[in-house]
Amino acid sequence: MNIYSRWYIFGILGSLVLLAIAYFYFQLYLELVPCPLCMFQRAALVCIILFCLLALIHQPGLVGLKIYNALIFIASATGIGLAGRQVWLQYYPLGPDTTCGIDPIYRWTESISEDYGFMEMIVTVLKGRGDCAEINWDWLGISIGGWMLLVFTAMAVLTFYLTVKKQPY
């Protein structure tokens, strides 16, 4: 097991814990319905899990590790963008009577095939209004979106550091 394998295991376990907290604590226990930006952030975590798992199973050489790290970095950077957008909307809401435009549960799958194309759905979600700007929970004065922004930033910085630092293989 090389040094990267430990970090991939840490990435998998950390992301799984975050997804479990999001689902079991926030969604089931507190009954908070995730907004579309939250769902996209969960998808970014799933991508991080998949890339870490693939790298762990594949056990590539140094070039392959850099490719997997780049994919993990891209997923983390996407999470930064999504969480950053949510935090932006929380501090600069667009209006009290607006909505995200897509119901996070039903419309997630139905909107792709019926009303929206895939890209139109993504643009609509990124516009993020109303329920994406609500702060339903915070800890230490930081909302869920703020905590996810910190988590994704830490993942991106760590991945970048591991990629550029010369490691013994």
Identify whether the C-beta of residue 60 lies closer than 8 Å to the C-beta of residue 19. Answer: no
φ, ψ of residue 139 in degrees (nearest 5):
-140, 130
169 within some domain: no
- Residue 47 within any structural domain of the chain: yes
DSSP helix/strand/coil, 12: helix
Count how many domains the chain has.
1
Round the average pLDDT of the chain to a whole number and report it: 79
Q: What CATH number corresponds to the domain at position 129? A: 1.20.1550.10
Q: What percent of the chain has pLDDT over 90?
A: 30
Domain that holds residue 146: 3-164
What is the pairing mode between strands 142-143 and 138-139?
Answer: antiparallel
Mean pLDDT across the stretch 108-135? 58
Give pTM, 2 decimals.
0.76
Q: What does the alpha-carbon distance between residue 126 and residue 36 come to, in Å, rounded to a whole number?
A: 9
Determine the pLDDT at residue 151: 92
* pLDDT at res. 144: 82
Please check whether residue 145 lies inside any domain of the structure.
Answer: yes
- How many Cα atoms are found within 13 Å in the side-chain-facing hemisphere of 114? 7
Does residue 158 belong to any structural domain of this protein? yes
- For residue 146, being part of any structural domain is answered with yes
**pLDDT of 20-54, one tens digit each?**
998 898 888 888 888 888 888 999 999 999 999 99
Q: Do the domain assignments include residue 32?
A: yes
Residue 56 belongs to a domain: yes
Strand intervals (E) in the chain: 138-139, 142-143
pLDDT over 70 percentage in the chain: 71
Residue 21, in any domain of the structure:
yes
